[in-house]
Amino acid sequence: MAALVSYSVAKKNNDKAPVNSPTQVIGGHGNNSYSNNSSYQRLAANFVTNKIEDTIMMKLDVESLSSASNIIRLADFGCGVGSNTINAMQDLLEIVKKKYMSQRPTSQVPEFQLIFNDQFTNDFNSLFTCLPQEKEYFVAGVPGSFHEQVLPKSSLHLGHCSYSLHWLSKLPTELEDEHSPAWNKGRIHYTSAPQEVLNAYATRFAEDLNYFLNARAQEIVSGGMMVIIGSSIPDGMPYSQVANGLMYNCMGSILMDMVKTGSISEADVDAFNLPIYACPPGEFTEGVERNGMFTVEVIELMNPAPWLKGPIDIPVFVKHVRAAMEGMFSKHFSREAIDELFNQLVPKLSEISGQMESCYRDGLQLFAILKRK
Amino acid sequence: MAALVSYSVAKKNNDKAPVNSPTQVIGGHGNNSYSNNSSYQRLAANFVTNKIEDTIMMKLDVESLSSASNIIRLADFGCGVGSNTINAMQDLLEIVKKKYMSQRPTSQVPEFQLIFNDQFTNDFNSLFTCLPQEKEYFVAGVPGSFHEQVLPKSSLHLGHCSYSLHWLSKLPTELEDEHSPAWNKGRIHYTSAPQEVLNAYATRFAEDLNYFLNARAQEIVSGGMMVIIGSSIPDGMPYSQVANGLMYNCMGSILMDMVKTGSISEADVDAFNLPIYACPPGEFTEGVERNGMFTVEVIELMNPAPWLKGPIDIPVFVKHVRAAMEGMFSKHFSREAIDELFNQLVPKLSEISGQMESCYRDGLQLFAILKRK
Q: The complex's ipTM?
A: 0.85
| Residue A55 pLDDT | 86
Q: Closest approach of chain B CAs to the CA of A16, in angstroms?
A: 11
C-alpha to C-alpha distance for A206 and A211, rounded to whole angstroms: 9
CA distance B124 to B104: 35
Q: Assess contact for B4 and B243: CB atoms under 8 A.
A: yes
CA distance B192 to B194: 7
The answer to whether B137 and A144 are in contact (CB under 8 A) is no
Specify the 3-state DSSP secondary structure of A365. Answer: strand
Q: Would you call A143 and B143 a contact, using CB atoms and an 8 Å cutoff? A: no
- In this prediction, residue A146 carries a pLDDT of 98
Which of B234-271 are b and which e, b meaning 16 or more Cβ less than 10 Å from the residue's Cβ? eeebebeebbbbbbbbbbbebbeebbeeebbeeebbbe
Shortest CA gap B116–chain A (Å)? 9
pLDDT at position B3 over 50: no
Whether the CB of B150 is below 8 Å from some CB of chain A: the reply is yes
Q: Do B141 and A144 touch (CB under 8 A)?
A: no
Give the SS3 label for residue A20.
coil
Amino acid (one-letter) located at A330: S
All domains in chain B, ordered by first residue: 2-372 (3.40.50.150)
pLDDT band at A8 (very low <50, low <70, confident <90, very high): very low
B98 falls in which pLDDT band (50, 70, 90)?
Answer: very high
Q: Round to whole Å and give the CA distance between A246 and A158.
A: 36
- Would you give the distance in Å from CA B79 to the centre of its chain? 9
Look at strands B365-372 and B156-162 and give their pairing.
unpaired
Give CA angle at A152 (A34, B211), nearest 5°. Answer: 80
The half-sphere exposure of B314 on its side-chain side, counting CA atoms within 13 A, is 18
The predicted pLDDT at position A169 comes to 95
Q: Do B111 and A153 touch (CB under 8 A)?
A: yes
Is the CB of residue B115 less than 8 Å away from at least one CB of chain A? Answer: yes
Tell me whether residues A138 and B138 touch, CB distance under 8 A: no
Query: A370 exposed, middle or buried (CB, 10 Å; 0-12, 13-18, 19+)?
Result: buried
Residue A280 forms contact with B (CB below 8 Å) = no
Tell me the three state secondary structure of residue B44: helix
φ/ψ region of B223 (left if φ > 0, alpha if ψ in -120 to 50, else beta) reads: left
Smallest Cβ–Cβ distance between A123 and the set B125, B140, B144 belongs to B125
Q: Using CA atoms, how far apart are residues B223 and B229, in angstroms rounded to an integer?
A: 20
Residues of A whose CB is below 8 A from B144: 139
Chain B residues in contact with A128 by the CB 8 A cut-off are 120, 124, 143
CB pairs under 8 A between A and B: 87
Least confident window among A107-111, A258-262, B115-119, B310-314: B310-314
Cβ burial A140-165 (10 Å sphere, 16+ → b, else e):
bbbbbbbbebbbbbbbbbbbbbbbbb
Is the pLDDT confidence value at A88 over 70?
yes
pLDDT band (50, 70, 90) for residue B231: very high
pLDDT recorded at residue B145:
96
What pTM was estimated for this model as a whole? 0.87
Average pLDDT, whole number, for chain B? 86
- Contact with chain B for residue A125, Cβ under 8 A: yes
A334 Cβ under 8 Å from any chain B Cβ = no
Cβ–Cβ gap B139/A139 under 8 Å: no
Degrees to nearest 5, angle at CA B216 with B45 and B65: 80
